[in-house]
Amino acid sequence: MPKAILTCLCLILFCPQIQAQENALTRFQKLRKEAVEAQRRGEFRPALEHYLKLLDMVPHKPDICYQVAGIQAVLGDSQKAMEYLKKALSLGYPLDKGLDKSFDILKGSPGYQEIQTMIEALKTPIGNSRIAFSLSERDLLPEGIAYDTEEDCFYLGSLWKSKIIKIARDGKVHDFVKEKQDGLRSVAGLKVDPGRRVLWVVSFMALPWAKLAPEEVGWSCVFKYDLKTRKLIKKYVFNDAGAGHLLNDLTITRSGDIFVTDSIRNEIYAIFHDADVLESFVRSDEFMYTNGITMGNDDRTLFMASPGNGVYRIDIPSREYRLVTHPEGMTLSGIDGLYFYDNSLIGVQPGLHRIGRFYLNPKGDSVKRLEIIEARNPLFDFPTTGTIAGKAFYYIANSQAYSFNPDGTLFPFKKLKDVVILRADLKK
């Protein structure tokens, strides 16, 4: 299976040791498994049926379009193969090593030159991001980053070392929360509440970043730290013992309310400032691995990335939600970090090796156009999340989140790269 497909699957199968209840995500996983297994056995027609069912669920998912195209080529339907291949490429499907040999049948066909042109375009880097920081602690495997406007500094969380570091504007680095301090484990989303001088942190335990005892499977928690003293203010834990959770990202309203995504439960939790407890806010079987989340231009609107099928717009007072629509030749699937800026959404799409800016209509319920901020940067190795600082977007270029050997051990230090945080200036 191509690496790009595996990368996309990592977003969906983030925590495979937890058995989730039947919903859109688990149906997707089941169909995907059946399709891949049939394909490996050479049972191409059953595999095609499974993939087409997947496309009914996620019509703009590039890797599924690519698989359908490949099977159509194997079955000798050049027209259908060309149709689905063009769709996959127009959606940004990366071809690091070129087309599979199954597409040789298309060579010489009318329209194949267009395919070649599209492939060449997808090999070309886009953007002008520059290095903001480079960290020599290669085995951090960073996942979350946050910016503090008051001190003009950044906070970076570690999946592997279960700690948080503080990065001053001059590049000086020190531990803000030490390894596993206060019970902290793999760090995902981070957000600074600058006025209240608080750092909010999401932490979880999951493979491959932790060796788990049975009682630790599905542990996840929200931590609240005082930025001045670096001391823990409070931990928000679940009271449903035995249930699996994977809290992933969070966002903050101006009034200090917190909204947190739970990826495997397809749920958003809230910590309202007046109640100060972790409680369910919205849950839906439609959601497919709730991930990045951001506030709109007021305290009434949330945008939440559902990597399997796109981005949801959620009205906070009514708790009503709907998918953000977009033009046919565009995909909002596969987004990890998600950020609102000047009536647009900035989405990090690791599987497509790109950072995209999706410009919204005035109502904020539809995308008008896409601008690629950065794509196929040679420094990329599973970019994950970012943070907006003034008129610039700072993001983790190489989380190296899946740099593990088959036996579960981390790559040797010398095989890893220095951690790079890139900066992209944002246009108004």
User: pLDDT tens, 146-194?
Assistant: 999 999 999 999 999 999 999 998 889 999 999 999 999 999 999 999 9
Most distant CA pair in the chain, distance: 68
Are 263 and 289 in contact by the 8 Å Cβ rule? The answer is: yes
| Rounded distance between C-alpha atoms, residue 167 and residue 133, angstroms | 9
All structural domains of the chain, each given as residue ranges with its CATH number in brackets, are: 3-124 (1.25.40.10), 127-425 (2.120.10.30)
Q: Which helix (H) or strand (E) holds 332?
A: none
**Given pLDDT bands bounded at 50, 70 and 90, which one contains residue 21?**
low
pLDDT reading at 274 higher than 80: yes
Are 61 and 331 in contact by the 8 Å Cβ rule? The answer is: yes
pLDDT reading at 12 higher than 60: no
In degrees, rounded to 5, the angle at the alpha carbon of residue 202 between the alpha carbons of residues 207 and 356 is 85
Query: Is the peptide bond between 208 and the residue preceding it cis, with omega within 30 degrees of 0?
Result: yes
Average pLDDT, the chain: 93
Instruction: Please report where in the chains the tokens 């629509």 appear, as a residue.
Output: 325
Q: Which amino acid is at 139?
A: D
pLDDT tens profile 108-143: 888 899 999 999 999 999 999 999 999 999 999 999
pLDDT tens profile 394-424: 999 999 999 999 999 999 999 999 999 999 9
How would you classify the pairing of strands 164-168 and 173-177? antiparallel
At 63 the three-state DSSP class reads helix
- pLDDT of 241 reads 65
Phi, psi of 3 (to 5 degrees): -60, -35
pTM: 0.93
pLDDT reading at 329 higher than 50: yes
